Amino acid sequence: MADLHADVSRAQMLDFAAAYPLAWIVPYADPSAALLMPVLIETNEAGAPQSLLGHLPRTHDATTCLAEDGRTAVLFLGPNAYIPPGWIRKKDWAPTWNFVSLKVTATAKTDTELTRHAVETLVDHMEGDRWSVAEMGARYQGLLRGIIGFRAAIETLTPRFKTGRDETAESYADLRQGLAGHPLIDWME
């Protein structure tokens, strides 16, 4: 049976990861070395997800793990909300949690030559024309020495968008009312 929560278009997955790039990087070799870092999804000429681009602290256990065995899961979590039973008119409603998430499995390769590109691509993504690393002056070089870039070939993308799409029209309307003004609303369409 198909999972309605996983029926998400490629465009929705890419938009989500671009809007919420902070992700858990979980090395297969040692999941306890997991850390949160910003990660961008790179696409090929046809717009298909191809790789992840990011950077890691040089002295973190995850960096050591990924340098030895690059297999990793990267977990993106976006807006989420507890849904109390009082929001829904159904008497038998149980509390739940709605959320938007994406799991990416990939094989990462750390690369010193990629560090500057990874950081500057992330800054351009987040800042656009408002700010650039050039404004840091000499401090930028010092920061670069403490990190290392990586690129990870994407193997699988598994979305899970639990946003009420499986509810009745009445319950869905109740959810929207209860979540009014919450960022999860943008992902419910």
Q: Read off the CATH number of the domain in which 46 is found.
A: 2.30.110.10
Residue 139 within a domain: yes
Question: Looking at the 3D structure of the chain, how many domains does it have?
Answer: 1
Q: Does any domain span residue 189?
A: no
Residues 145-186 have pLDDT tens digits of 999 999 999 999 999 999 998 899 999 999 999 999 999 999
Q: Evaluate whether residue 64 is within a structural domain.
A: yes
Indicate the pTM of the whole model: 0.93
Confidence at residue 68, expressed as pLDDT on a 0 to 100 scale? 96
Residue 188, in any domain of the structure: no
How do residues 10-66 score in pLDDT, each as one tens digit? 999 999 999 999 999 999 999 999 999 999 999 999 999 999 999 999 999 999 999
CA angle 108, 113, 116 (to 5 degrees): 95
Look at residue 106 and tell me if it is in a domain: yes
- Is residue 85 a part of any domain in this protein? yes
